[in-house]
């Protein structure tokens, strides 16, 4: 077993610093690739099946084959957690179309490449951020028209999130041509109305079908918390009771300012806290169940 941090590339585990891809990999040259991020808490993979479902959908939309069987991929995911000694952290998975002579036309015979890395995160730091809430700034949505595919072509996201960070922000909220919030640079966007109703945008090509978003919608149903799936504007968000963003690595993260203006009372709200607790109960239950089936199989 390699010492230290471990990466996986096309069937081989190696030291993270030694891992490499071919110079003509289409993921490098064209961002002809998709990715997933799996949160690990207490050594358990959260929302594993939903992430794999979305991976297969993204690959299908781009006509890229699964690089290995789903069952074998689950083995690799767990081995990455084990070899990297991850207790709380995440596993990053990327599938590229593979290696081919550089050409804009899609090659007919390329073999997809599978790349995985893993690293721990500071759970205490995330909880501190959740306790304080975060700042968000809005920006025009200049991304491509297929944001439902989890593509690695993230340059607009990188630029917008960095611009937000330069102003003291944690995240950006993209706004479409009609003035409605689409989603964050790496999160889904939510508000809580004055009546306590959670609101998030409906799925379409304009936003990524967030796995955590879907799990939270299920948690809302389970807990009997009112919600609506519809669009909302920056103005409505500023007049809302609460706001939050959702992601695999952050769960439900409260938003306390938008474009430098206070949302609600400027502190994380009780509804978003309840939603985070409901999500963690659901996600932990499913992760334990998946681990139990794996151990008994």
Residues classed as catalytic:
150
Give the separation between CA 118 and CA 108, rounded to whole angstroms: 31
Give the separation between CA 27 and CA 102, rounded to whole angstroms: 11
Give the separation between CA 34 and CA 95, rounded to whole angstroms: 6
Residues 6+ away with beta carbon under 8 Å from 129: 170, 250, 253
Give the separation between CA 80 and CA 208, rounded to whole angstroms: 26
Asked whether the beta carbons of 95 and 67 are under 8 A apart, the reply is: yes
């Amino acid at each position: 077993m390699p010492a230290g941090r471990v990466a996986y590339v096309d069937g081989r585990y190696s030291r993270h610093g030694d891992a490499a891809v071919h110079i003509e990999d289409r993921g490098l040259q064209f961002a002809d690739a998709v990715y997933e991020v799996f949160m690990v808490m207490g050594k358990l993979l959260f929302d594993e099946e939903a992430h794999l479902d979305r991976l297969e959908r993204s690959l299908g939309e781009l006509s890229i084959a699964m690089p290995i069987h789903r069952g074998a991929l689950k083995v690799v995911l767990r081995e990455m957690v084990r070899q990297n000694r991850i207790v709380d952290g995440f596993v990053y998975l990327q599938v590229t179309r593979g290696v081919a002579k550089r050409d804009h036309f899609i090659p007919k015979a390329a073999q997809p490449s599978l790349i995985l890395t893993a690293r721990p995160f500071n759970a205490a730091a995330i909880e501190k951020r959740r306790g304080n809430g975060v700042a968000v700034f809005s920006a025009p949505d200049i991304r491509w028209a297929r944001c439902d595919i989890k593509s690695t072509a993230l340059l607009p996201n990188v630029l917008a999130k960095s611009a937000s960070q330069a102003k003291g922000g944690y995240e950006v909220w993209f706004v479409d041509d009609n003035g409605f919030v689409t989603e964050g640079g790496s999160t889904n966007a939510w508000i809580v109305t004055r009546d306590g109703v959670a609101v998030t945008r409906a799925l379409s090509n304009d936003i990524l079908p967030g796995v955590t978003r879907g799990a939270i919608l299920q948690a809302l149903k389970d807990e009997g918390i009112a919600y609506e799936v519809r669009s909302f504007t920056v103005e409505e968000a500023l007049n809302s009771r609460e706001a939050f963003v959702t992601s695999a690595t952050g769960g439900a993260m409260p938003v306390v300012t938008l474009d430098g203006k206070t949302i609600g009372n400027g502190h994380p709200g009780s509804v978003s806290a309840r939603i985070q607790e409901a999500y963690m109960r659901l996600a932990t239950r499913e992760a334990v169940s998946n681990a139990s089936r794996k151990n008994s199989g």
